[in-house]
């Protein structure tokens, strides 16, 4: 069990969870926190919105946690029953008891999350690593996904730049707060982005988590055939200042547009990778239009 703990130490975990709880305490709408049991451990979920509303599964980016949806949750939860899921493979409030290694196991884990929530089918949106997870779910378990929204999905359409990996490992291996802040700022077009509580939590995650979470499955580029087999109506939203893709954001969007059978794509002006912070109002509008 100790090998599966993503945190460097109990103290690091306590400091991280205290900041996490502070973000949830400032949640803009009424919410509840749940822990769902799966064969891989306890999956933590922040739930908002009317119980009778259609379900919306929200999957966060690496190190970002379920709290990253705070800037858009008020708009989304007015229409949907929102389930912000803490990915079980890294440091957050989910607690892994078994490795979730590989695409198939990740889908099995998400199937069990759906079952624990008594959801047969849902709209699914994911950002960065969460976007890759969402695309993988739509490919391998299409019956679960009613509509799909991919927000600057990690890899998926194009390889990730070496600068991204340099930034992650430079911050995590050196445990340098300054390098962590510089890296998070590099991902955002918002000046002084780390003053945002959710962005500051990413900095804390980079410093408090082990450099490589046990069982992490790196995001991969989908083949042409895989992209053609994603049948769910899909919207791809990427900032026009996005820095994670080799070849840039225009190439990623063009590949999605060329290969996916039912897709709408849009480059958001002025936004980088951290869409929920860089353009929360526009993103909320885009999400609501995509999910309808």
Active-site residues, by number, are 273
Where helices occur in 117-209 by DSSP H, the ranges are: 129-140, 162-174, 177-186, 197-208
Q: Give the number of C-alpha atoms closer than 13 A to the C-alpha of residue 50, restricted to the C-beta side.
A: 7
Query: Looking at the chain, how many residues does it have?
Result: 292
Paired tokens of 291: 């999910």
Q: Are 38 and 113 in contact, with CB atoms under 8 Å apart?
A: yes
DSSP 8-state assignment for residue 150: E
Q: Are 238 and 98 in contact, with CB atoms under 8 Å apart?
A: no
Picking from 202, 78, 223, 57, the residue whose alpha carbon sits closest to that of residue 144 is 57
Contacts for 142 with CB less than 8 Å, ≥ 6 apart:
230, 231, 232
Q: What share of the chain is helix, strand, coil (3-state, %, to 5)?
A: 45, 20, 35
Biggest CA-to-CA distance, the chain: 48
DSSP 8-state assignment for residue 93: S
Q: Are 25 and 63 in contact, with CB atoms under 8 Å apart?
A: no
CA–CA distance, 27 with 262 (Å, rounded to integer): 34
Picking from 91, 88, 242, the residue whose alpha carbon sits closest to that of residue 164 is 242
Contacts for 229 with CB less than 8 Å, ≥ 6 apart:
139
């Amino acid at each position: 069990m100790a090998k599966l703990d993503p945190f460097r130490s109990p103290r690091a975990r306590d400091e991280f969870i205290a900041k996490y709880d502070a973000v949830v305490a400032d949640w803009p709408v009424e919410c509840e926190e749940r822990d769902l049991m799966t064969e891989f451990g306890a999956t933590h979920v922040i739930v908002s919105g009317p119980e009778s509303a259609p379900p919306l599964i929200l999957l966060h980016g690496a190190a970002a946690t379920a709290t990253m949806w705070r800037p858009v949750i008020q708009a989304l939860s007015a229409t949907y029953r929102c389930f912000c899921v803490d990915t079980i493979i890294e440091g957050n409030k989910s607690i892994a008891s078994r490795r979730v290694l590989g695409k198939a196991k990740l889908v099995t884990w998400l199937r069990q999350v759906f079952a624990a929530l008594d959801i047969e089918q849902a709209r699914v949106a994911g950002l960065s690593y969460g976007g890759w997870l969402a695309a993988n779910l739509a490919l391998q378990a299409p019956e679960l996904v009613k509509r799909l929204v991919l927000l600057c999905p990690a890899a998926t359409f194009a390889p990730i730049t070496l600068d991204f990996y340099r930034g992650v490992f430079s911050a995590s291996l050196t445990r340098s707060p300054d390098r962590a802040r510089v890296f998070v700022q590099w991902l955002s077009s918002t000046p002084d982005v780390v003053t945002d509580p959710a962005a500051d939590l990413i900095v804390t995650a980079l410093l408090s988590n082990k450099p490589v979470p046990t069982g992490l499955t790196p995001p991969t580029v989908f083949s042409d055939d895989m992209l053609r087999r994603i049948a769910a109506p899909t919207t791809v939203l990427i900032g026009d200042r996005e820095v994670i893709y080799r070849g840039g954001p225009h190439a990623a969007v063009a590949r999605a547009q060329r290969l996916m059978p039912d897709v709408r794509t849009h480059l958001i002006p002025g936004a980088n990778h951290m869409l929920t912070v860089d353009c929360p109002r526009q993103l909320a509008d885009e999400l609501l239009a995509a999910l309808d």
